[in-house]
Amino acid sequence: EPEVTQTPSHQVTQMGQEVILRCVPISNHLYFYWYRQILGQKVEFLVSFYNNEISEKSEIFDDQFSVERPDGSNFTLKIRSTKLEDSAMYFCASSTPLAGWNEQFFGPGTRLTVL
């Protein structure tokens, strides 16, 4: 069964460094999302991406963040100049009109630790 994959599973970085989190959505999906979940807290929406551009973004998704679909398969989240409070699990998700758009398939997440 096709699935969303994310790499790396765990990323440790120093405060102030840039990180790129990678996601490979399910191949025929058209809508892509990034969420984050600080340990023990609720999931927070960051951004949705459709047709090679940002569709919606939350207040959290400020200039520190950017997303890109550099090729036909990868979907990346870049965090510039990481802060301690960026430590969280980052989930990528994708959806398709064939599943009615509403069923989002989540990846296993990347745990980001900022030291």
Partner 1 sequence: AQKITQTQPGMFVQEKEAVTLDCTYDTSDPSYGLFWYKQPSSGEMIFLIYQGSYDQQNATEGRYSLNFQKARKSANLVISASQLGDSAMYFCAMREANQFYFGTGTSLTVIP
Using rule CB under 8 A, residue 65 touches partner 1: no
Q: Which of 33, 49, 65, 90 binds partner 1 (CB under 8 A)?
A: 33
Using rule CB under 8 A, residue 89 touches partner 1: yes
Instruction: Count CB neighbours of 15 within 10 A.
Output: 13
Nearest-approach distance from CB 78 to partner 1, in angstroms: 21
Nearest-approach distance from CB 46 to partner 1, in angstroms: 9
| Terminal-residue alpha carbon distance, the chain | 37
Q: Which of 93, 94, 112, 114 binds partner 1 (CB under 8 A)?
A: 93
Give the span between the Cα atoms of 3 and 74, in whole angstroms. Answer: 13
Using rule CB under 8 A, residue 61 touches partner 1: no
Using rule CB under 8 A, residue 52 touches partner 1: no
Using rule CB under 8 A, residue 87 touches partner 1: no
Residue type, 77: L
Based on CB atoms, which residue is closest to partner 1, 8 or 70? 8
CA distances to 15, 90, 113 from 74, rounded to whole Å, are: 25, 15, 22
Give the span between the Cα atoms of 32 and 15, in whole angstroms. Answer: 27
Residue type, 40: G
Total residues contacting partner 1 (rule CB under 8 A)?
23
